């Protein structure tokens, strides 16, 4: 007996939108007659299997919905796979639509209208999605259909310039090239075949990217074949092209409840989850909005077996608890009126002790924190960068410069291991390899006498100079364990060209000291007694981030080999990092 196939029927439809374009939609409906809530996922990726057969998700993280008799709907967005129309990457919201004008908000609206007209619903629809589907979940809540009661953007693609996938503050993330080498390819006629990648990495990613001596060498062969990549590279600054693709400015007085979900060790879309939650609470104060975050990689919260990254262990059961005790009850309340409304605003699973010997069989769920707001820090711990590699809570008496040479021919690797695939373990990886390099400044605090609970945004203030006209400043927060493991807790990059604003780059004056302030993505990490807090400062994290040529160019995406310059970077005492902490 197959409980799923005995309990559900699958039917494929081509659902018409207001402009006549039809979207491929697979609906799984309970066999037993009744009226059911709807869970929908809108997706630009393959919805296999097409035709006969049931989606594998229905037997894993979606099984709780199937066993509780939800109508489950999967849809390919326009222009992808079997859906008609033209696909637009991070398609902008159209505020004043007229006639048959469409966007992702209207496509979601039209689909929901079709669902309530044609399927046996109870009149209540929920939409969720991870990564790109999270973007569509967010957009569905703008000008929402009255039947849409709740949405859950999870690690949502939100702003591909500021912090998600493609860039961090305009610094290109090379992982976007390997993703886009297939995803950005024009589709042509509707098909069930996912496009083949134009990039094949047959050796360690560091060596493969380093063999391309400049960003121009790397992207020029791809630009004509990948139109969106071409557009993306033509907009290096935070201009209208990027701003109109960010949905956060349109989340005013939205009606559906929000459950924003993210992972603290998400290499792709950590930024989007927290900033979507902030936008909702600021612009829609009467909307029920909740945040969930834990020590997960991208999408790790749907993996029941997830318990570690690299040699950092977080305990067992966090994903199962999230799906069955947080996400499902959220939708049950808003779509079915069952259970009870969440009494909290933020459910946080912080990382703390991560030593394998102590965490191998530990239960992660004893650490859950249910808060009335995020963050709820009670104070700030300011740690100053001192000479002789010290990180101390007092201001230095001098303003000595601590120097390193940043060489584009030998950039700092983003991880200490060799692999021909992107290493998600690196987000909590051992940074001891970086401490040994002369182009990385390492600052370590004393052994902690008591636990320090850091939760929220970490702020950075650097005083720097360079012998060049541009540079990136990478800052990493590290937990030094007693067993010698230097676990990365958070990283962030700030291009010096944007020290006065993101809309237009500005060159550095060689030798002139400048101040730069920026924040790292939210963290929730408790540094146990016996550990040490460490901060590393460097100017590359390659090839996770493209190497800055260190010569100012109006468009650094057009840098050729002759533009890359070895420079001396000075970071001055008096620079500091501010940690929000719980007492």
* Element at 282 (helix H, strand E): helix 270-283
CATH value at residue 9: 3.40.50.1820
Look over the chain and give the mean of its residue pLDDT values, rounded to a whole number: 97
pLDDT of 273 reads 98
- Give the pLDDT band (50/70/90) at residue 1: low
Same domain, 343 and 416: no
Is there a domain that residue 247 lies in? yes
Question: Is pLDDT above 80 for 90?
Answer: yes
pLDDT of 197 reads 97
Residues 6+ apart with CB under 8 A from 279: 248, 249, 251
Is there a domain that residue 531 lies in? yes
Question: Is pLDDT above 90 for 120?
Answer: yes
Same domain, 153 and 179: no
Strands 390-392, 532-538: pairing is unpaired
Same domain, 151 and 215: no
pLDDT of 356 reads 95
Would you state the structure tokens that stand for residue 266, as one six-digit string?
Answer: 């998400």
pLDDT tens digits along 537-563: 999 999 999 999 999 999 999 999 999
Of 155-169, 234-248, 407-421, 514-528, the poorest mean pLDDT is in: 407-421
Same domain, 531 and 577: yes
- 128-140 average pLDDT score: 98
Same domain, 249 and 233: no
CA distance 245 to 157: 10
- 176-201 average pLDDT score: 96
pLDDT of 421 reads 86
* Exposure b/e, 447-468, CB count within 10 A at least 16 = b: ebeeebbbbbbbbbbbbbbbbb
Range of the domain at 488: 379-582
Same domain, 354 and 410: no
Q: How many residues does the chain have?
A: 583
Is there a domain that residue 129 lies in? yes
> Which of 238, 271, 292 is the C-terminal boundary of a domain?
238
Question: Is pLDDT above 80 for 583?
Answer: no
Same domain, 190 and 210: yes
Is there a domain that residue 499 lies in? yes
Question: Is the preceding omega at residue 220 within 30 degrees of 0, hence cis?
Answer: no
Strand-pairing partners, residue 153, are: 129
Question: Is pLDDT above 80 for 412?
Answer: yes
pLDDT tens digits along 257-307: 999 999 999 999 999 999 999 999 999 999 999 999 999 999 999 999 999
What is the domain count for the chain?
Answer: 3
Same domain, 43 and 100: yes
CA distance 44 to 184: 11
pLDDT tens digits along 8-34: 999 999 999 999 999 999 999 999 999
Same domain, 234 and 248: no
Same domain, 304 and 414: no
Same domain, 526 and 441: yes
Which pTM does this prediction carry? Answer: 0.97
Same domain, 385 and 315: no
> Which of 370, 388, 420 is the C-terminal boundary of a domain?
370
């Amino acid at each position: 007996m197959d409980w799923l196939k005995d309990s559900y029927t699958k039917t494929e439809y081509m659902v018409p939108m207001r402009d006549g374009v039809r979207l491929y939609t697979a609906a799984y409906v309970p066999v037993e007659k009744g009226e059911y809530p709807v869970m929908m996922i809108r997706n630009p990726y393959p919805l296999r299997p097409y035709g006969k057969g049931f989606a594998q998700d229905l037997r894993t993280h979606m099984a709780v919905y199937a066993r509780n008799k939800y109508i489950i709907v999967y849809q390919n967005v326009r222009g992808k796979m079997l859906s008609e129309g033209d696909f637009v990457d991070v398609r902008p919201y159209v505020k004043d639509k007229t006639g048959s004008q469409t966007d992702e908000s209207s496509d979601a609206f039209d689909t929901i209208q079709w669902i309530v007209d044609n399927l046996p619903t109870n009149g209540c629809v929920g939409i969720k999605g991870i990564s790109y589907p999270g973007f569509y979940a967010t957009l569905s809540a703008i000008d929402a259909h009255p039947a849409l009661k709740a949405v859950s953007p999870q690690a949502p693609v939100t702003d591909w310039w500021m912090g998600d996938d493609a860039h961090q503050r305009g610094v290109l993330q090379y992982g976007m090239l390997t993703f886009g080498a297939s995803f950005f390819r024009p589709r042509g006629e509707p098909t069930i075949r996912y496009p083949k990648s134009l990039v094949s990495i047959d050796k360690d990613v560091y060596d493969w990217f380093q063999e391309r001596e400049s960003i121009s060498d790397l992207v020029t062969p791809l630009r004509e074949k990948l139109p969106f990549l071409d557009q993306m590279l033509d907009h290096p600054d935070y201009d209208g092209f990027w701003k109109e693709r960010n949905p956060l400015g349109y989340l005013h007085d939205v009606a559906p409840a929000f459950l924003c979900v993210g992972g603290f060790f998400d290499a792709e879309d950590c930024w989007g989850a927290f900033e979507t939650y902030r936008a909702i609470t600021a612009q829609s104060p009467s909307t029920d909005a909740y945040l969930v975050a834990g020590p997960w990689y991208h999408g790790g919260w749907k993996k029941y077996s997830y318990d570690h990254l690299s040699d950092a262990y977080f305990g067992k059961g966090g994903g199962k608890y999230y799906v069955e005790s947080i996400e499902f009850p959220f939708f049950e309340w808003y779509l079915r009126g069952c259970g009870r409304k969440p009494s909290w605003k933020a459910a946080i699973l912080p990382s703390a002790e991560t030593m394998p010997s102590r965490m191998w069989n530990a239960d992660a769920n004893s650490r859950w924190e249910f808060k009335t707001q995020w963050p709820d820090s009670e104070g700030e711990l300011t740690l100053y960068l001192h000479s002789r590699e010290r990180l101390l809570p007092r201001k230095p008496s001098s303003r000595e410069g601590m120097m390193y040479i940043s060489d584009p021919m030998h950039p700092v690797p983003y991880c200490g291991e060799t692999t021909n695939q992107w290493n998600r373990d690196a987000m909590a990886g051992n940074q001891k390899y970086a401490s040994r390099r002369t182009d990385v400044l390492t600052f370590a605090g004393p052994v902690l006498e008591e636990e320090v609970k850091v939760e929220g945004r970490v702020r950075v203030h650097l005083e720097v100079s360079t012998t060049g006209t541009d540079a990136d400043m990478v800052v990493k927060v590290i937990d030094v364990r007693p067993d010698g493991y230097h676990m990365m807790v958070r990283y962030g990059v700030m291009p010096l060209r944007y020290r006065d604003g993101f809309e237009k780059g500005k060159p550095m004056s060689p030798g002139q000291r400048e101040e730069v302030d920026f924040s790292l993505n939210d963290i929730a990490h408790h540094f146990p007694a016996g550990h040490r807090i460490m901060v590393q400062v460097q100017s590359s994290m390659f090839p996770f981030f493209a190497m800055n040529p260190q010569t100012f160019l109006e468009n650094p995406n057009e840098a050729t080999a002759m533009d890359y310059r070895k420079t001396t970077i000075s970071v001055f005492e008096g620079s500091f990092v501010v940690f929000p902490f719980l007492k």
